[in-house]
Amino acid sequence: AQTDSSAGTGLFVMKRNFISRLFRRFAAKSVVTEPKLSGDAKDLGDITDRICSDSSGRPHKIWIMNHYATEMFINHAGRHYWFAKKLEQRGYSPTVFTASSFHNKPEGIDTEGKRFKIIYTDDTPFVFVRVTPSTGNGFARIRNMLQFFFRLFPTAKSYAATCGKPDVIIGSSVHPLTMVAALLIARRMKVPCICEIRDLWPEAIFTFGKTKPNSLLGRILTAGEHWIYRKADALIFTKEGDTDYIKEKRWDTDHGGDVDLAKCHYINNGVDIPAYDLSISTQTMRDSELDDPDAFNVVYAGIIRPVNNVGNLLDTAALLKGYPRIRFLIYGDGDQLPQLRQRVKDEHLTNVSLKGHVERRFIPYILSRSSVNILNYSQNQFNWTRGNSSNKLFEYLASGKPVISTVRMGYSIINRWKCGFETEQCTARSLADAILRIYSMPEEQYRQLGINARTAAMQFDFERLTDRLVSVIDSVTDDTTAHTVSR
């Protein structure tokens, strides 16, 4: 939040300092008052032997804190699961701290009444912090966030008491409280902290109209966000244009601010190509429509909710009824699915199949059998000017099939790699025209789009992304003393 008057600036600074003091006071209280290891000690019995310091002095223990990594553990897939595996291959010892609950589901990991529980996936320990499961975006979700924030402090202390403190902590959003906790724990342990911004809060909240930027809550959230960017030893953004946001806020040093863009790094989401290819051959499913060699399959795979504007696909299908080979296969579940099924029935959309929920392990196979994959979004429910970091995009690219996006994006990966099209307008007519353009193009041109998609995916393979992460880790540990003293 910025003001033109000195009085407004003074108020902003007072708010910022108040938030900083509040966080410091809470962190100190949380860590100091935590008792020594109790019932959780037996869960840590063999971890000391499995997580050790590197005798070379190279930063070795990496703590990754992500509230929503629980499903990554279950699926054996996802950003921090893959980062952890690739870091292990490079000689690091990563630990993932996450909530015991699944996002927006009533169930979770049973911690057996303990404050936290450690479960291994291969050699990677996942530390599940006990929280109350929540669904929706109301009070229950806020409680879930706060529980994870508050309980992360004593969990980190107990874990460090047996396993030793980390060399680097990575705090990952979506919501910012995880990054705040990571910063405060890192300060207490005198180690560097990397903050990873996967969603720009509070901008996303403002976009959805939950509160206004100039409201009291909006200013507090913005001040907290600025505090995170200022205090982090390094920042990772998942969209290439996210640093434009810092420039727009005039927080960067070139505009007289206090955030050095030199510590900002771009590491998008991506895909584990070898695992993806293995899934195509081993995780197959029977689907007569998908496997029909004469069909031109227009595939969408994802959550069926307003932001994904899946109704637009039905509108497009209605326009293409005259092309019997073109079929729309929609995989996924969500609160709009019953409504869309009723539309298919009422409008006699015989060229549409709503497949419902499908296990994640089948997604690579499904996408590999498509003719074109659709990124179907709403233009006005998200700021697309800074790029796209959706997992879906990279899974689509890895399939080696053309991609159509219903929104035009800044820093466009689709346009850069010439692997599909972005429509001028987010309308059924524009999408139908793009589908027909691919449907009717010569075979060689069509094949080249697929080759380009696969080439693009290789640039975002987690081997490459982990190399970038290691470079960021090295950047904050070249002079650890300088980083820790500056806090």
Strands 93-99 and 352-356: unpaired
Alpha helices, DSSP H, located in 33-174: 47-50, 70-75, 79-89, 139-163
Own/partner pairs, 314-318, CB within 8 angstroms, 24+ separation? 314/340, 314/343, 314/344, 314/347, 314/349, 314/352, 315/428, 316/428, 316/431, 316/432, 316/435, 317/349, 317/351, 317/352, 318/347, 318/349, 318/428
Assess contact for 428 and 316: CB atoms under 8 A: yes
Q: Could you tell me if residue 348 is left (phi over 0), alpha (psi between -120 and 50 degrees) or otherwise beta?
A: left
pTM here is 0.86
Amino acid 207: pLDDT = 76
For the residues 382-400, what does the mean pLDDT come to?
A: 94
Reduce the DSSP state of residue 283 to 3 states and report it: coil
Q: Give the best-scoring range by mean pLDDT among 114-123, 128-137, 150-159, 196-205.
A: 150-159
Q: Could you tell me if residue 197 is left (phi over 0), alpha (psi between -120 and 50 degrees) or otherwise beta?
A: beta
Neighbours of 265 (CB within 10 A): 17
User: How do residues 13-36 score in pLDDT, each as one tens digit?
Assistant: 444 454 444 444 444 433 333 323
The H-or-E segment that residue 193 falls in is strand 193-197
Own/partner pairs, 206-213, CB within 8 angstroms, 24+ separation? 207/381, 207/382, 207/383, 208/381, 213/1
User: How do residues 420-464 score in pLDDT, each as one tens digit?
Assistant: 999 989 999 999 999 999 999 999 999 999 999 999 999 999 999
Amino acid 49: pLDDT = 43
Q: Kindly list the distances between the CA atom of residue 255 and the CA atoms of 178, 331, 387, in Å, as whole numbers in the listed order.
A: 28, 46, 23
Distance in angstroms (rounded) separating the CA atoms of residues 282 and 203: 41
The string over 64-82, giving b where at least 16 C-beta atoms fall within 10 Å of a residue's C-beta and e elsewhere, is bbbbbbbebbeeebbbbbb
Beta bridge partners, 44, equal: none
Would you say residue 487 has pLDDT above 60? no
Assess contact for 70 and 121: CB atoms under 8 A: no
Query: For residues 40 and 478, which has the higher predicted lDDT (pLDDT)?
Result: 478
Compute the Cα dihedral for 281, 283, 288, 292 and give only its sign: negative
User: How do residues 313-325 score in pLDDT, each as one tens digit?
Assistant: 999 999 999 999 9
Amino acid 58: pLDDT = 57
Compute the Cα dihedral for 148, 150, 151, 153 and give only its sign: positive
Would you say residue 53 has pLDDT above 70? no
Amino acid 292: pLDDT = 96
Would you say residue 407 has pLDDT above 80? yes
Amino acid 158: pLDDT = 97
DSSP label at residue 324: T
Q: What is the DSSP string of 131-147?
A: ---B-SSSHHHHHHHHH
Distance in angstroms (rounded) separating the CA atoms of residues 166 and 89: 18
Question: Confidence class of residue 134 from pLDDT cuts 50, 70 and 90?
Answer: confident
Place of tokens 């296969």: 329
User: How do residues 464-478 score in pLDDT, each as one tens digit?
Assistant: 999 999 999 999 997
